Every structure is written in structure tokens, then in C-alpha cells.
Structure 1
């Protein structure tokens, strides 16, 4: 294409805010080209989708992500100086720390054991209460992951609310965004002071814990992370785990189908994992990820100029009829015996977690959902009249009511006597 004759594109920033998750899929359906061209925040942008596009996007020779993250996202979701802002050797070195903490059977089992123990204890208090599943799950996940990470909690409910705010306010303007900024300042201040105290010997970090490893980590230049950056990276371990509360609430939404609920109650671990995959495919989480073209590129004959914003359409790919049969039907059985290919199912991004920007805690997310969803399905409860809509123009989307449960009854395990209640 002759760039001097390329038509001037209208800026789509407002359309993105209005349409949310459907903005890119709608644009893609209206073009026959292999990519979507637009402008965002005044910058030339192109949008790609599909497994081949995932591999193209996460190739550091094509797209770099560090400088593409807007300041408002760094000030809320990720934090300034986070691993997400790095590329090349610096990124790989810092990412190695995350991989050592979050991957492998021992790490996954540690988080799941801590969270499920807290869940099993917490649900005993639910009978007789009105439960908002989103809120309860956020507190359980916060207490569990902080215990596993070696981070002491003085006020777990307040910390959980702040961690939820980091996710809930990154992609919006107004009160949610400013709430997220205030939450980040509180959390970074608290954790930065904790790191300083650990280094000075005033606080103890369990050997090999997340707190211990982050406090001792040295970057490629041989220097310890400054306390604020160490706090940022501690949050980048804890925050994604607490964000699983979005999917736990979505699990409640999905379990309104009796057939799915009964299958989960059957105790088949393979079905629980398939359910976790389908939750992450079907329900909205991240709409897309972005980076900047590091040089002039070509995508199936379409030029992408150096410096252009490159978007990877996550939500659109996870609902693409060319990849998924009946993509708008919730069908966990699609993954029974057919685990998703690495670059097909990408609710949290794609690529290789060892070398790229894919979330290293993805295995923990899947394992947590596969453990918590059957526990939720095993409860007896009523779903009162409430607003169960999930607006796709809200970023990030969530169930409006948070999924309210009433008249919760916790089944008594076989062989265990029911508790006796006295007035």
C-alpha cells in the first residue's frame, strides 16, 4: 500500500468506550482484510486475531509491549516498573523470578491448598447470610494467596477490596479509576515497608516464600529491587490470583444450568478442568492486549508501520466461529479429551509464558477454578431475583449483582455428624 495515499482513519477511542468487548469483533466482521485498521488515542493502530497472529504478536522481533502500556494502566493494574514494562533480557530475567514462584506442581498445589482451606472454613459461616459470591470469593482468595506468599494480613477485607479495585479501575475513567489509584498507593506503601523491614531484619519472610524471593531478587544489573518496585512485583503475584473472583462469580452464573451443576457434582476431575477452560473462554475478561511495532512489518500482505499500535483481539478470538463450534454456547464438554492448544484459548493473553508476556500464573488460575467450582456446585442455595446481566460495554465486565446467594446449606460430608445448633 502506498502510505502517502492511505486514507485518514477516524479515531475509535470513543467507540471502544461505548462498545467495549464487542468493538474489535464488530470491526473485524465489517472488513475482508486480514487485519483491522483504526486509530486509538491518536495513534495508528492495527488489530489481529487467530493462533498465527498470537505467535506473530508475541515475537519480540515484531512487537514490544513495555512502552505500549499507558500510564493510567501502570498506575492501577500493573504498577510502574513492573515486569510488564520490560522487554528483552531485562524482561526475561525478571520473568524468571515469576516462573520460579508460580509454575510447577508444587507452586500450584501450594496456592490451591491455601485457598481451598480458607474456602472450606468460610462457607461454614454462609448459612443464614445473604452472600455476594464475587465479594466472598475475593476475600477467600486474598487470605489464601497472602498466606501462601508469606505476606501478613492485618485487615484482609480491606486488602481484598483494594486488590479488586486495581483490576476494576484500570480500563475506565472516573470514580473506579481514581479508587484504583488510591488502592495502589496504599498497597505499594504497605508492601514496600514490609520489604524494607524484611531486609532490615525487623520482619521475617518464610524461606522460599514469595515475600522472601522478591525481597532478595536482583535484576540483570545485580541490584536489589528498590522497595517500591519489589512491592509492585509482590502485587503482580497476588493481584492476578485475587482476580480469579471474577471467574468464581461467573461460575455461579454458569451453574444455573442444572446439567452443568450435576456434572460438576459428579466428581470427575477432567470435567472440572474442562469447566475451568470453558469459563475462561466463554465469559468476558480481558478484551485485547496491545504493543508497538518495533519495525516496519508485513501481515499477510498488509503493511504495519514502525511505531504503530498492534492489538491482539482476545475476546474476539475466544468467540470466533472459525475456532469454536457454537462459540456463544457454554459447553465445557468441548474440552473433554481435547485440551486447548496454547495459542487458541487466550483469555489472559497468549504465547509462551517462559519467554513472552503470557501470564505465568495461568496454571494456578485453572487449578483454582477446577477446585472451587465443584465446591460451589456441591452447595445448596437459592438464587433470588437480582440483576444477572454482564454488560459488555463495561471494562472489565462483571455480573452487576455480584451473584447473590441466599438460604445456603452446606452438605455434611459422609460419616460426619451434623452440627447441633442451640439457642
Structure 2
């Protein structure tokens, strides 16, 4: 970035340790301390500009301006995307691959995801009745079954618990280092071998349906089938995020316990789900490397410069949200015209930018989860419900223990 920049610089030679320690609070604290929506610092000894807010989102997602390549630590990319995924592509190659994912998100497929969640949730609740469960521990298997079914994979033919461990560990360990990260990489490699086997069988039999069939038969911008390895990576990049939506389901249960269920109904359920996505911490930041030089806030950004957009900070930006720390689902009722302020899974155009194509799926599943949570007869015993800011994404320290009431006794014959 040009030395003539007017963007303030945070004190200290390097802020890697501060970011890991403070987590989601790291950037917002410095925005407030310096009374700014942008500051420069060093993370991993590399110069970076941290930004937040609707104006920064608009700048960051200008078409053709940024690339994801080299913008996030390789340890994170290896667990959450890996080589050859849609998030590593740019230009025409990215658009062709992204169109494939967006085609999966039509209304019928979203409705199917809601139906599958409803079936899996009710089956799980029937097994929880009359005992105390740790919701965080129960959701991974349930969401893995949902993900498999939505992708055209029969859970009855799979080792669901093994796959649940692999898929959940990928997103749970993305912000970790040391033995936890190494274990997650080993589990990811095991999961990729399984996914390659599924793709290979789908191509050999030429009869796979759903997401698996789409990935097996997709042709990229060059007209060639994706390699078996890349198709497997993309299959995991559908399965894993669906399992990760389980963390939003846990957050919805957390919010309903703390703030009450509020009004019922489809629109109210959707608004509750959206406020969970806005308020609760999930993705802390998203990185970008400049492709085309530009000027912003009096600074010149050159090719290769590194920026971090604070997604969680933008969702809590006091200039965009009234009382941003309050849980208010009514914010999302009716027409809401502030897409650059609501970026829990990134911003920009779904086709032109790297915005998560599964965002609609996340909202659909979470809306159904809110509806089902309202119907569940449960209680939450006294426990530590705090969310550690340095975990990405966090979970209540006790995993959210809850007791599910036993079925009501049947009447006299």
C-alpha cells in the first residue's frame, strides 16, 4: 500500500498473537480505539489492511478487484477448501464452476433440505427424550446424515459417525495449530479418499443423482470433466458446510434460551434465523489479494496487497445497525435494503464474486431449525453459556446441555 496512505496504523510490530488471543474482538477493538473503519498492521509478519462496514464491503467485492489466492493462511485453505476448489479460481473459470453450485440452490432443492432437516431432527429428538444431552455432540452425526441425503448419498451404506468426525473436525480445527491441526489434516485426507471413491463409482455407474451426480458429470470452462481429485474436493465443500450449519443450529438454541422464542410463523422463523447469523460469531474475517490497483480512503492499493474484511465486525457495525449487540429478529422482517451490512458468509455477487453459494441453503436449514426448536419440549439446566472469542467458530464451554421431556403418557385404553 502507498506510503501516502491516510489509513491509520495500529501500534506494535506484529499482531499475530493479539489476533489469536482476542479473536473476534481483535479488529473491532482497534476500529473503536482509532475511530476508524480501516487500519493497517502486520499479521504473520506481513503487512495487511483490516476493514469493516458496508462501504468496505462494496470496495472489497468490486468485480475483478480481489483474488482469494494467497489471501488466507495455507493451513486454513487446506482444511476448508483445498486445491482446485471454486474458491481458488478467478475469472471465467470461477464463473463456470460457480454456476454449477448456484444451480443446486433452486427452490425445490432448498425445500428438500428443510424436509430432510425436519425428518432428521424429529428422529434425533425421539432418541433424546427423557434424558440430558449435549447438543454440540449430537448435531454432527445428525447434520452429516442430512448432508449425505441432500447430496444423493445413502447414509445406510456409509459409516456416518466416521464421516461426521472428519467433516466436523475440518471446520472446528481450521483456526487451530499444532497436534489438533495435524489430526484434522489426517482426517481430511481420509475423507478425500472416501469422496474420490464415491466420484469414481458415480462415473463408472453413470447413475448417481443429486449433488454427487452433478459433480461427477460437471465440465469446467475448458470443457473437460473435473479431475477425480477436484470433484472429491468439491463434494467435501458441499458436505462440510452443511455439517457446519449445525453450529448455527446450536446458536439458535442458545439464543432461544437467552432471549425467548418470540413470535411463530414462517417470516418470524426466518427473521430469527437471520438475526442468529448476524449476531453470533462464525467466520471472523475473509482475506483478499489485490488484482487491479485502486484508490480508497486516500490510500493506493497495489497489486498483491493484502486486505482482511472483518465480517463479524461488519455485522456488528454501529453505523449500520442500531444497538448491534442486542438480539432483535424484527430487524429482518419485511424489506431489508442493506446487503453490504449483513455479511455472515461474505458479500458481493454470488456469481461474480466468491460469496458462499451455500448461503441460501444455510438460511433454509436454519429457518427450519428455528421452527423445530419452537416445537421441542426442552429445558436448559444452569451452565456456562459463554462463547470464547478466540475459538473459530466458538461453542458454549459445556456444549449446551439440555434435557428433552419424555413423551406424554398415553391415555386410558
Q: 1:45 to 1:5 in 2, by over 3 A?
A: closer
In the aligned structure 2, how far is the partner of 1:33 from the partner of 1:71? 29
**Structure 1 match to 2:184:** 180
Aligned residues: 407
- Quote how far apart the aligned CAs of 1:180 are: 1.8
Q: Conserved in 2, the CA contact under 8 Å of 1:192 and 1:230?
A: yes
In the aligned structure 1, how far is the partner of 2:274 from the partner of 2:86? 26
User: After superposition, where does 1:85-104 map in structure 2 within 5 Å?
Assistant: 85-101=88-104, 103-104=105-106
Q: Conserved in 1, the CA contact under 8 Å of 2:200 and 2:228?
A: yes
Structure 1 position 194 matched with structure 2 position 198? yes
Q: Which runs of 4 or more aligned residues in structure 1 lie more than 3 Å from their structure 2 counterparts after TM superposition?
A: 4-9, 418-421
Q: Conserved in 1, the CA contact under 8 Å of 2:117 and 2:368?
A: no
Aligned-CA RMSD value: 2.3
**Structure 1 match to 2:356:** 359
Structure 1 position 255 matched with structure 2 position 256? yes
**Structure 1 match to 2:55:** 52
Q: Conserved in 1, the CA contact under 8 Å of 2:125 and 2:404?
A: no
Q: Conserved in 2, the CA contact under 8 Å of 1:133 and 1:248?
A: no
Partner of residue 161 from structure 2, selected from 150, 157, 162: 157
Q: Conserved in 2, the CA contact under 8 Å of 1:68 and 1:291?
A: yes
Helix, strand or coil at the partner of 2:257: coil
- Quote how far apart the aligned CAs of 1:275 are: 0.2
Q: Conserved in 2, the CA contact under 8 Å of 1:381 and 1:409?
A: no
**Structure 2 match to 1:415:** none
- Quote how far apart the aligned CAs of 1:222 are: 1.7
User: After superposition, where does 1:54-73 map in structure 2 within 5 Å?
Assistant: 54-73=57-76
Helix, strand or coil at the partner of 2:405: strand
Deviations 1:92-115 (A, max 9, x none): 1111111111x2211211211112
In the aligned structure 2, how far is the partner of 1:5 from the partner of 1:193? 52
Structure 1 position 128 matched with structure 2 position 125? no
In the aligned structure 2, how far is the partner of 1:164 from the partner of 1:13? 26
- Quote how far apart the aligned CAs of 1:33 are: 4.8
Q: Conserved in 2, the CA contact under 8 Å of 1:34 and 1:300?
A: no
Structure 2: 5+ residue runs without aligned partners? none
TM-score, with length taken from structure 2: 0.92
User: After superposition, where does 1:4-403 map in structure 2 within 5 Å?
Assistant: 10-101=13-104, 103-153=105-155, 154-201=158-205, 204-206=207-209, 209-257=210-258, 260-261=260-261, 263-264=262-263, 267-339=264-336, 341-403=338-400
Q: Conserved in 2, the CA contact under 8 Å of 1:249 and 1:399?
A: no
The worse-fitting range, judged by mean Cα deviation, of 15-24 and 176-185 is 176-185
Helix, strand or coil at the partner of 2:70: helix
The worse-fitting range, judged by mean Cα deviation, of 174-183 and 321-330 is 174-183
Q: Conserved in 1, the CA contact under 8 Å of 2:5 and 2:300?
A: no
The worse-fitting range, judged by mean Cα deviation, of 376-385 and 364-373 is 376-385
In the aligned structure 1, how far is the partner of 2:102 from the partner of 2:411? 47
Helix, strand or coil at the partner of 2:164: helix
In the aligned structure 1, how far is the partner of 2:303 from the partner of 2:177? 29
Q: Conserved in 2, the CA contact under 8 Å of 1:318 and 1:347?
A: yes
**Structure 2 match to 1:3:** 3
- Quote how far apart the aligned CAs of 1:67 are: 3.2
- Quote how far apart the aligned CAs of 1:124 are: 1.1
Helix, strand or coil at the partner of 1:353: coil
- Quote how far apart the aligned CAs of 1:191 are: 0.7
Helix, strand or coil at the partner of 1:36: strand
- Greater RCO (CA < 8 Å, at least 6 residues apart): 2
Deviations 1:39-94 (A, max 9, x none): 12222111122222212111243221133233211221112211111111111111
TM-score, with length taken from structure 1: 0.90
In the aligned structure 2, how far is the partner of 1:420 from the partner of 1:170? 51
- Quote how far apart the aligned CAs of 1:145 are: 2.0
